[in-house]
């Protein structure tokens, strides 16, 4: 096969052109064989348009932590309080976030395998907030576990997006062997009939959803409360982070010197509240306390180097908090391999 023109020898670029031709020849040959194949495959494959399973794994010392995706809910920027609407828009735009019909906000739960016990922190919204949520059960199974294997469900607080998933569609315990544990102050508020009866009408539904969600566990004697600072399991300690609700709690998870704070609802808008911690959200029971708690925990997280797991941070909601002058920033965890599992011990 002759590719070089006969005049080549007279040009100074000959060696280069010969090298290029040599490199291209196999491609030309390949093109000849691929051409009929390309014609045969002219019809494009169908797009998949389904997301990969909503779980993500991390390791902290001997503990395995699996983030479970319940879904997303759009939150209107107007729910954020304490900052002018145009400043909120600027902060959202800085992160390229769409705010119509609302800012996409994830709902995450976290499954902690301590080596002895399987602990679920929060249970998702099930059907309480519509079809964009309610995937905890599916994603728990996709992650390789069964609902029957969960020993304990710890609730950060008693809002519907964290506890409706405690029940299945038939109203039975969705985690049939689990004990549900919640801060005594949150139980005392959300499960108290007098408080519920005196609450504003628009809040009544939240009280009803809370008591219905825990009912199967309560009837079976498997609902119990905890106090601030209580060690709930070896390596898992309750931390009072009140404000969002009266007994809102976070869980400090420690193994082999690694520490992870599963902080629940300390942040609803990563774009706004790391930059401006004094911005509260409509759902805060006590906004001033919620703001004070957020500032305190941000500071602790920076100082102590804690990893963070957030219920409404972009999935998987795992990462670190950094300081930036008077403000803070969210640094998401990076996808990566896990260290090998430690040998299983008896449960
Ligand atoms: Zn929430």
In-domain check, residue 84: yes
243: which 2 tokens?
């404000």
CA 160 to ligand 1 center in whole angstroms:
8
- What was the pLDDT predicted at 92? 98
Contact criterion met (CB below 8 Å) for 143 and 57: yes
CA 338 to CA 333: how far, in whole Å?
A: 13
CA 231 to ligand 1 center in whole angstroms:
23
In-domain check, residue 343: no
> Could you tell me the sign of the dihedral formed by the alpha carbons of 301, 61, 112, 125, in that order?
positive
pLDDT digit string, tens, across residues 290-311 = 999 999 999 999 999 999 999 9
CA 290 to ligand 1 center in whole angstroms:
13
Contact criterion met (CB below 8 Å) for 143 and 69: no
Residues spanned by the domain of 122: 55-333
In-domain check, residue 6: no
In-domain check, residue 217: yes
In-domain check, residue 47: no
CA 224 to ligand 1 center in whole angstroms:
21
Residue 63: beta bridge partners?
60
Beta strands, E only, the chain: 55-60, 63-75, 80-81, 103-113, 118-121, 152-154, 179-183, 223-226, 231-233, 236-240, 249-255, 258-264, 280-281, 307-310, 318-324, 327-332
CA 338 to CA 298: how far, in whole Å?
A: 27
Q: Grade residue 52 by pLDDT with cuts at 50, 70 and 90.
A: very high
Structural domains in the chain (count): 1
- What was the pLDDT predicted at 9? 42
- What was the pLDDT predicted at 42? 83
pLDDT digit string, tens, across residues 245-260 = 999 999 999 999 999 9
pLDDT digit string, tens, across residues 167-218 = 999 999 999 999 999 999 999 999 999 999 999 998 999 999 999 999 999 9
In-domain check, residue 40: no
In-domain check, residue 31: no
CA 334 to ligand 1 center in whole angstroms:
24
CA 330 to ligand 1 center in whole angstroms:
18
Q: Is the pLDDT of residue 4 over 60?
A: no
- What was the pLDDT predicted at 6? 44
Cα 19–Cα 20–Cα 26 angle in degrees, nearest 5: 100
In-domain check, residue 7: no
CA 181 to CA 91: how far, in whole Å?
A: 37
CATH of the domain at 171: 3.60.15.10
CA 162 to ligand 1 center in whole angstroms:
6
CA 192 to ligand 1 center in whole angstroms:
20
Cis peptide before 316 (omega within 30 of 0): yes
CA 120 to ligand 1 center in whole angstroms:
15
Helix (H, G, I), strand (E, B) or coil at 147: helix
Phi, psi of 331 (to 5 degrees): -115, 105
More confident residue, 316 or 342: 316
């Amino acid at each position: 096969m002759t590719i070089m023109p006969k005049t080549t020898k007279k040009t100074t670029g000959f060696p280069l052109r010969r090298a290029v031709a040599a490199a291209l020849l196999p491609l030309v040959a390949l093109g000849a064989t691929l051409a009929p194949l390309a014609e045969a495959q002219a019809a494009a494959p169908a797009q998949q348009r389904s997301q990969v399973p909503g779980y993500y794994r991390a390791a902290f010392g001997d503990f395995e932590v699996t983030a479970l995706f319940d879904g997303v809910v759009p939150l209107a920027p107007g729910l954020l309080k304490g900052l002018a609407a145009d400043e909120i828009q600027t902060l959202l735009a800085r992160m390229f976030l769409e705010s119509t019909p609302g800012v996409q906000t994830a709902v995450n739960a976290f499954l902690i395998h301590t080596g002895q016990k399987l602990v679920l922190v929060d249970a998702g919204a099930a059907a309480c907030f519509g079809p964009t949520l309610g995937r905890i059960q599916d994603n728990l199974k996709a992650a390789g576990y069964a609902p029957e294997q969960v020993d304990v469900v710890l609730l950060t607080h008693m809002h519907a997006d964290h506890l409706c998933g405690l029940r299945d569609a038939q109203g039975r315990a969705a985690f049939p062997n689990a004990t549900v544990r919640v801060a005594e102050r949150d139980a005392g508020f959300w499960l108290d009939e007098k408080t519920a009866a005196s609450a504003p009408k628009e809040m009544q539904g939240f009280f009803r959803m809370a008591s219905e969600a825990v009912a199967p566990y309560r009837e079976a004697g498997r609902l119990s409360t905890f106090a601030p600072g209580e060690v709930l399991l070896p390596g898992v300690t309750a931390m009072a982070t009140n404000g969002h609700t009266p007994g809102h709690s976070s869980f400090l998870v420690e193994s082999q010197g690694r520490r992870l704070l599963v902080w629940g609802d300390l942040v609803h808008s990563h774009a706004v509240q790391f930059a401006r911690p004094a911005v509260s959200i409509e759902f805060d029971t006590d906004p001033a306390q919620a703001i004070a708690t957020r500032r305190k925990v941000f500071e602790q997280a920076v100082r102590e180097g804690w990893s963070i797991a957030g219920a409404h941070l972009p999935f998987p909601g795992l990462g670190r908090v950094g300081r930036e002058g008077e403000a803070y920033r969210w640094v998401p965890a990076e996808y990566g391999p896990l260290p090998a599992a430690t040998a299983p011990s008896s449960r």
